[in-house]
Amino acid sequence: MRRIPHLLAAGLLLGLGLPLDVRADIDRAALIRLAPSVVKIEAVSPSGGFQLGSGVIVGPGKVVTNCHVTRHAERVQVVKGGVRWRANLQAADMLRDLCLLRVPRLEGDAVTIARAATLQPGQQVLAMGYTGGVGIQLSEGDVVALHRWSGSQIVQSSNWFSSGASGGGLFNADGALVGILTFRLRGGAKHYFAAPADWLLAQLNDELPYNAVAPLPGKSFWEQPDAEQPYFLQAAALEQSQRWTALAELAERWQQEIGDDPEAPYVLGVAFEALHQPEPSIRAFRRSVEIDPNYDRSWARLAQAYKRQGQLRESRHAVARLATLDPKQARELAAELEKP
């Protein structure tokens, strides 16, 4: 069998003058200096139950954390450097799972906040939180995907974190807070999700009322019954369970309801691909990049789908387009597509 020329791996990325990697590497030492702005949260319930989490200083005497950390608490303490400060008030956005604590006399510098819209898939990010509830832990990773919901984009990344890190910070290479570590899905190494930091802006402007710390009613968006969760979470569950027909039906409803979201046709293309319907899958992926020409996941799938159909020129074009968005992913994909 004739091998695909090295045009994919070398010509596309070098011969066409495309950069091998344009990501800004994380300055780990510089970001470690942000660690004093990431704090431990201790939440005590009326029955004496104890919940550990993390938080980030976002203003004078203000700490953000997840509401699922504090929702059962009648007393919340912020711990930094062995010193404890008691939070006396909190503003809760339970559905978005963000609680802003007022902590009188808290010492520490507030972080800079950046919008999730400034991120791109493949961009390096650093997670900080009290994983395991002991010392602060750092986890380097990349942005995997951005999911539109509730006026911003929920950040999916490959940064590992677990219990105790909820409420911690996800930072970009410039040290700006771009997300609040919130939840993870089982069954994948890249299923870690952070609430967008820009959701905090309304709270920081005191648009939500502060109340005394007390148990909170309600559940967050990711804890809702399956049918009431955001489409991207419903899709993730269906994809994990390989329910491809149900996934296609969900994606069709998603497209009808939110016609300008490129993720909906992307998910439809994934479903058609698994159902061995190559032409509909290609049409769906192309629809996705028509909505958003920078939607990298659809370009990657298009490159693979075209290769399987023997449309090598179209496959190379998709890799070249991907290389302008995520050079690392394009390089890895080109090497994979080069195989016979």
pLDDT digits 0-9 by tens, 225-284: 999 999 999 999 999 999 999 999 999 999 999 999 999 999 999 999 999 999 999 999
**By the 8 A CB rule, do 144 and 157 touch?**
yes
Residue 11 has pLDDT above 50, yes or no: no
290-337 pLDDT tens trace: 999 999 999 999 999 999 999 999 999 999 999 999 888 899 898 888
Per-residue pLDDT at 205? 82
CATH T-level fold of 36-110+204-218: Thrombin, subunit H (2.40.10)
Please report, rounded to a whole number, the percentage of residues in the chain having pLDDT higher than 90.
Answer: 75
* φ/ψ bin of 132: left (φ > 0), alpha (ψ from -120 to 50), beta (otherwise): left
- How far is the C-alpha of 99 from the C-alpha of 57, rounded, in Å? 12
Residues of the chain with CATH 2.40.10.10: 36-110+204-218, 116-197
Residue 54 pLDDT > 80: yes
Give me the helix-helix angle, 244-257 and 231-240, nearest 10°: 170
Which residues 6+ apart lie within 8 Å of 269 measured at CB? 280, 281, 282, 283, 284, 285, 288, 298, 301, 305
Per-residue model confidence (pLDDT) at position 15: 37
Query: In CATH, what number does 116-197 get?
Result: 2.40.10.10
Looking at CATH, the fold of the domain delimited by 7-22+224-337 is given as 1.25.40
Domain(s) of CATH 1.25.40.10: residues in the chain: 7-22+224-337
pLDDT of residue 16: 33
Q: What is the pLDDT of residue 134?
A: 74
* The pLDDT of residue 189: 59
Q: Is 0.85 surpassed by the pTM of this model?
A: yes
pLDDT(6) > 60: no
Which residues face 52 on adjacent strands?
Answer: 42
Give the confidence band of 89 by pLDDT, cuts at 50, 70, 90: very high
Position 21 scores a pLDDT of 44
Q: In the predicted model, is pLDDT for residue 1 greater than 50?
A: no
| Torsional sign, CA 237, 241, 242, 247 | negative
